[in-house]
């Protein structure tokens, strides 16, 4: 790393010592962009690293709500408006008991570079609450969402900050949040994405993150003259991203043999085909059940309580649950068992040691901010349709998503080839390529706009 990069990283560590996930995300970015920092003195002269690692604004608020018994609960709400150099803040809302400021800062920071890679005009932001929707009635979730939006509505807007879903925030929650925003502001605007189709949503938005991750994997495989057909795949999670990832793998002739939730994973050597996937979607989205029920429903499959699926031999791995779900040892196990490709549907699912293991083994590794950018890209397409008051067809949106994922891939590939010294011959360091490509666009916009 350059002296400048080292100095700023030390400052960020000192200032944010109790935010490990944020520090991990910052370290991953700063450690890979040294070649552009060294080649362009303007970034140091304009203190770009110091500024890009500090959110433009952080909002923290109380969210009081009552349960079905009339008992009062208080959660904490957040919105981190990280960077608006290239467009309005854009990024999801996460409702999960583990949510804290450090996790949302890591997600918001990642979002800056991811959104930049999509080529659409979107800045980076993230928000959420330590509220746990699991086990709550629809009425309780609605009252929580209304209380959360009552404060959030002061800070967001279609040209200011446009939140979307993330863990624990799906179509139901977006509906309640949108309804309350509309009521408070008396405006029907595209202030949230991930809306239902009958009130401003985009076709393909629910599918986009999972489909996009598979498209990214397809593009990486194509650089080796290979394809997904016939590949054995392992995925984690069983929520929005994982479900549509499996759908696309099946459509392309691959076979996905695992899914998980926070209690354990299921292994189905026959593959989670279309019929079984429909059952999983009903289980998770309508019945709100647990993945272990799969093993009872489908003969030949097994459930492993309290474990993650990374010891199952595979050609390709797709982590789609949460951050740091693959550590160094698990990454090494994947590689030892023959895994040749990892594409990240979840945000920062591999820790720094695990990433180093992928890079040393020179497998195809698509980091989250590139591989899962299809979700936010399609949110951008939803914003465009809302502004035009038009709805594009399923085929139109899917074709645009496909092209965007190819562009993101090619952009990361080319920047890696140009700047990253280890990207030679058969190997491309997509981590460096994605970070550099995402950084340059935002950093140059920040310089253009002066010291704000």
Among 129, 209, 250, 420, the residue binding ligand NDP under the rule CB under 6 A is 209
HSE of 198, CA atoms in CB hemisphere, 13 A:
1
Q: How far is the CB of 96 from ligand NDP (least distance, A)?
A: 6
Question: Under the criterion CB under 6 A, does residue 370 sit at the interface with ligand NDP?
Answer: no
Provide the β-strand partners of residue 123: 89
Q: What would the x/- binding string for ligand NDP be over residues 328 to 347, using CB under 6 A?
A: -----------------xxx
Q: Which stretch, 176-184, 320-328, 429-437, 443-451, contacts ligand NDP (CB under 6 A)? A: 320-328
Between CA 205 and CA 444 the distance in angstroms is: 30
Residues in region 371-390 near ligand NDP by CB under 6 A: 372, 375
Among 200, 239, 309, 380, the residue binding ligand NDP under the rule CB under 6 A is 239
Dump the DSSP string for 273-341.
-HHHHHHHHIIIIIS---TTHHHHHSTT-EEEET--GGGS--SEEE--S-TT-B-HHHHHHHHHTT--E
Residues in region 134-173 near ligand NDP by CB under 6 A: 165-168, 170
42 is catalytic: no
Residues in region 32-91 near ligand NDP by CB under 6 A: none
Q: What would the x/- binding string for ligand NDP be over residues 344 to 363, using CB under 6 A?
A: -xxx----------------
Residue 105 · residue 55 · CB < 8 Å: yes
Provide the β-strand partners of residue 335: none
Q: How far is the CB of 425 from ligand NDP (least distance, A)?
A: 31
- Displacement of CA 425 from its chain's centroid (Å): 30
Dump the DSSP string for 401-452.
HHHHHHHHHHHHHHHHHHH-TT--TT---HHHHHHHHHHHHHHHHHHHT---
Question: Under the criterion CB under 6 A, does residue 8 sit at the interface with ligand NDP?
Answer: no
Active-site residue identified among 126, 136, 340, 441? 126
List the structure tokens of 374. Answer: 């299809």
Bridge-based pairing of strands 72-83 and 123-129 is antiparallel
Q: What would the x/- binding string for ligand NDP be over residues 246 to 275, using CB under 6 A?
A: ---------------xx-------------
Q: Which stretch, 115-123, 135-143, 235-243, 295-303, contacts ligand NDP (CB under 6 A)? A: 235-243
Among 202, 238, 258, 357, the residue binding ligand NDP under the rule CB under 6 A is 238
* CA separation, residue 73 to residues 130, 144, 150, 393, 418 (Å): 12, 9, 16, 43, 53
Catalytically active residues are: 126
Applying CB under 6 A, the residues found at the interface with ligand NDP are 165-168, 170, 209, 237-241, 261-262, 320-322, 345-347, 372, 375
């Amino acid at each position: 790393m350059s002296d400048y990069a080292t100095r700023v990283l030390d400052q960020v560590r000192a200032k944010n010592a109790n935010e490990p996930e944020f520090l991990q995300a910052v370290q991953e970015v700063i450690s890979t962009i040294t070649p552009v920092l060294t080649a362009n003195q303007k970034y140091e002269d304009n203190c770009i690293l110091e500024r890009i690692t500090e959110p433009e604004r952080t909002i923290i608020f109380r969210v009081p709500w009552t349960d079905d018994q009339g008992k009062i609960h208080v959660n904490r709400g957040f919105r981190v408006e990280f960077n608006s150099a290239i467009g309005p803040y854009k990024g999801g809302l996460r409702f999960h008991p583990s949510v804290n400021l450090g996790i949302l800062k890591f997600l918001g920071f990642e979002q800056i570079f991811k959104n930049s890679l999509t080529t659409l005009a979107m800045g980076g932001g993230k928000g959420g609450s330590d509220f746990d929707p699991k086990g709550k009635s629809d009425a309780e979730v609605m009252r929580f969402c209304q209380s959360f939006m009552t404060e959030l509505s002061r800070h967001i807007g279609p040209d200011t900050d446009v939140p979307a879903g993330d863990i624990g925030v799906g179509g139901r929650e977006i509906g309640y949040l949108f309804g309350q925003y509309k009521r408070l502001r008396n405006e029907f605007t595209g202030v949230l994405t991930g809306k239902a189709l009958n009130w401003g949503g985009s076709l393909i938005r629910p599918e986009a993150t999972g489909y996009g991750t598979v498209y990214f994997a397809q593009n990486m495989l194509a650089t080796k003259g290979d394809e997904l057909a016939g590949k054995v795949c392992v995925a984690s999670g069983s929520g929005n991203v994982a479900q549509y990832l499996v759908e696309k793998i099946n459509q392309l002739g691959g076979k996905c043999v695992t899914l998980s939730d926070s209690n354990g994973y299921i292994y189905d050597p026959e593959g989670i085909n279309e019929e079984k996937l429909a059952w999983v979607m009903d289980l998770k989205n309508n019945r709100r059940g647990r993945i272990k029920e799969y093993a009872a429903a489908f003969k030949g499959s097994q459930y492993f309580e309290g474990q993650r699926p990374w010891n199952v031999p595979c050609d390709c791995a797709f982590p789609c649950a949460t951050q740091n779900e693959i550590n160094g040892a698990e990454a090494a196990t994947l590689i030892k068992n023959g895994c040749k490709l990892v594409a990240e549907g979840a945000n920062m699912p591999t820790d720094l040691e695990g990433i180093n293991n992928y890079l040393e083994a020179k497998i195809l590794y698509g980091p989250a901010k590139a591989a899962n950018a299809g979700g936010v890209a399609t949110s951008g397409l939803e914003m465009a349709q809302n502004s035009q008051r038009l709805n594009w067809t399923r085929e139109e949106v899917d074709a645009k998503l496909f092209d965007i994922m190819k562009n993101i891939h090619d952009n990361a590939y080319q920047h890696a080839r140009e700047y990253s010294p280890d990207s030679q011959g058969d190997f491309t360091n997509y981590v460096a390529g994605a970070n550099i490509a995402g950084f340059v666009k935002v950093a140059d916009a920040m310089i253009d706009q002066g010291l704000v």
